[in-house]
Amino acid sequence: MGSGLVLLGLSFFIIPSFGMIDFMPDFIGCALIMKGLSKLSTQNGDAERARERFKFLLIITLLRFVMIIPLAMISDEMTTMLFVFSFAVAETVFLILAAFPLIEGVNHVSSRYGCEIPERRYNDMKIVFPLFAAARAVLVAAPELTVLTNPAYRDVIDVTELDKPTLYSAKNLVFAVCLGISLFIGVVFYISACGFFSAPMKDKAANEKFIADYNADIAANPVRTVCKNVKTAALLIVSGTAFLCTLHFYGLDVLFDLIGFALICAGFAVLRNYSPYAKKALLVSAAAAAVSVASAVLSVYISTVHYHKTYVLTVGAVRAYTALAIVLTVEYALYAAIMFYLYKVLCDAVRDYVRAPVFDEAEYKKEFSLKYVVLCSVGAGLCPVMSAFGFLYMYEEEVWIVGLLLFAAFSVYMLKTLMSLPYEIERSM
């Protein structure tokens, strides 16, 4: 029923973060939980709501992961504390909001297929899950909050006060204590979760019936399959686009473009049966992936040999940066072509929706076609801007912050636009 993936995803929440650094990234856990809920959400409304809320949590945890590098460059304890506290509160709110429909959804589907979850485990989980989420946030934020007791941040400092012991001077001890407690409550929570979520997995007959009903529902509603594939492709293409942002650290491209174009290739591979343009887009994406290998090599070379904040900007460094800028220009030119093919693929992929019929064709052309035109035009328009940034790195590397903000905003807009039509279709069915 997908409970195994949900349980695997929850395991990523056991290990707490150290400031902004999360050794077991929560966004991977969110993605696994969403995947586990993909089948359950077709059978129950609570599971569908939980999946939607974990999607918001995925965005928040992914943003926290991306913010590690900028905060490391700023290297200010007060700023880090504010970010840690803000993300801890936001993640806790969404985790608790997602916990209750998740528990209700799994319990309802399990009961429906004859594998009852014991009432005691059900009631315990409704208490343990929110308590774990709240306690986890407090224990993650507590060590960072000790910076508020640092005398250096006071407006008026008496020299004698610097010698007085404060919580800030015992920050490492506070962290060790919070880490130990957090690991303990994490293990207790996971044991409870195993007892709750593993119950539906033990009844093989119930699981087989669930899979049979799920497959029958998909076969009876072929449009659902198209919706599922469009959403899967959209997530892959948006994720790939996010990897193309110009995030550099000491001259090194942190998010290698090769990974981005590989994800885009996977997205078009999912849509290859819906449009002949998908195969062309697949070839263009593969070509861009091949070119991105050169940009990755140049990025590593510049970071180790010609990084201009550490070494003098020599003729060799100028040549290396220029070569990188040219390669990036080729990449973005290919991405602009990908945007053109994406529009063609989307139009072909959703044409069956109009024939369903669940939409008025005129309304489709006015609304959704226009959205795709604007989306792909904006994506293509970003390409010359990002190519120009390739040359600006030579003089001021901090321009990657602008590129990061542009690509983050575009990625969110792309995700919202690509997902709007499948969700509208499913609501109409």
Per-residue pLDDT tens digits for 298-310: 877 877 776 655 4
Q: Using CA atoms, how far apart are residues 366 and 335, in angstroms rounded to an integer?
A: 26
With beta carbons less than 8 A apart as the criterion, state whether 18 and 42 touch: no
With beta carbons less than 8 A apart as the criterion, state whether 146 and 167 touch: yes
Report which of 269, 235, 233, 232 is spatially closest to residue 411, judged by C-alpha positions: 235
Average pLDDT over residues 63-70: 76
With beta carbons less than 8 A apart as the criterion, state whether 406 and 382 touch: yes
**Band of the pLDDT at 132, cuts 50, 70, 90?**
very high
Q: What is the pLDDT of residues 84-102, one digit of tens each?
A: 888 888 899 999 999 999 9
Q: Using CA atoms, how far apart are residues 233 and 267, in angstroms rounded to an integer?
A: 4
Across the chain, what does the average pLDDT equal? Answer: 79
Average pLDDT over residues 131-149: 87
Q: Using CA atoms, how far apart are residues 384 and 329, in angstroms rounded to an integer?
A: 8
Both tokens assigned to 127 = 């208490």
pTM of this prediction?
Answer: 0.61
Both tokens assigned to 205 = 């007959």
Hey, which residues does 23 pair with through a beta bridge? Answer: none
Average pLDDT over residues 21-36: 83
Instruction: Give the per-residue pLDDT at 362.
Output: 64
Q: Is residue 13 predicted with pLDDT exceeding 80?
A: yes
Instruction: Give the per-residue pLDDT at 160.
Output: 58
DSSP alpha helices (H): ranges in 306-398?
315-349, 351-355, 361-392
Residue 165's alpha-carbon distances to 169, 342, 373, in angstroms, are 6, 61, 62
Q: Is residue 58 predicted with pLDDT exceeding 70?
A: yes
Q: Using CA atoms, how far apart are residues 114 and 117, in angstroms rounded to an integer?
A: 9
Report which of 189, 185, 183, 201 is spatially closest to residue 124, judged by C-alpha positions: 189
Average pLDDT over residues 39-63: 82
Q: Is residue 67 predicted with pLDDT exceeding 70?
A: yes
Q: Are strands 252-253 and 248-249 parallel, antiparallel or unpaired?
A: antiparallel
Hey, which residues does 252 pair with through a beta bridge? Answer: 249
**Band of the pLDDT at 358, cuts 50, 70, 90?**
low
Position 284, amino acid: V
Residue 258's alpha-carbon distances to 88, 207, 265, 328, 383, in angstroms, are 32, 39, 10, 12, 17
Q: Using CA atoms, how far apart are residues 188 and 355, in angstroms rounded to an integer?
A: 52
**Band of the pLDDT at 35, cuts 50, 70, 90?**
confident
Backbone angles phi, psi at 39, to 5 degrees: -80, -40
Instruction: Give the per-residue pLDDT at 350.
Output: 66
Report which of 282, 166, 202, 223 is spatially closest to residue 429, judged by C-alpha positions: 223
Q: Is residue 225 predicted with pLDDT exceeding 80?
A: no
Q: Is residue 193 predicted with pLDDT exceeding 70?
A: yes
Q: Using CA atoms, how far apart are residues 190 and 133, in angstroms rounded to an integer?
A: 12
Q: Which residue has the higher pLDDT, 103 or 207?
A: 103
Q: What is the pLDDT of residues 173-182, one digit of tens each?
A: 888 898 899 8
- Count Cα neighbours of 98 within 13 Å in the Cβ-side half-sphere: 23
Instruction: Give the per-residue pLDDT at 81.
Output: 84
With beta carbons less than 8 A apart as the criterion, state whether 247 and 254 touch: yes
Backbone angles phi, psi at 252, to 5 degrees: -100, 130
Q: What is the pLDDT of residues 370-412, one digit of tens each?
A: 888 888 888 888 888 877 776 676 566 667 677 777 877 888 8
Least confident range from 275-279, 322-326, 346-350, 357-361: namely: 357-361
Q: Is residue 156 predicted with pLDDT exceeding 60?
A: no
Instruction: Give the per-residue pLDDT at 283.
Output: 92
Average pLDDT over residues 15-23: 77
Domain ranges of the chain: 1-220, 221-429
Instruction: Give the per-residue pLDDT at 135.
Output: 92
Helix, strand, coil shares, percent, the chain, to 5: 80, 0, 15
Q: Sign of torsion, CA 34 39 41 42?
A: positive
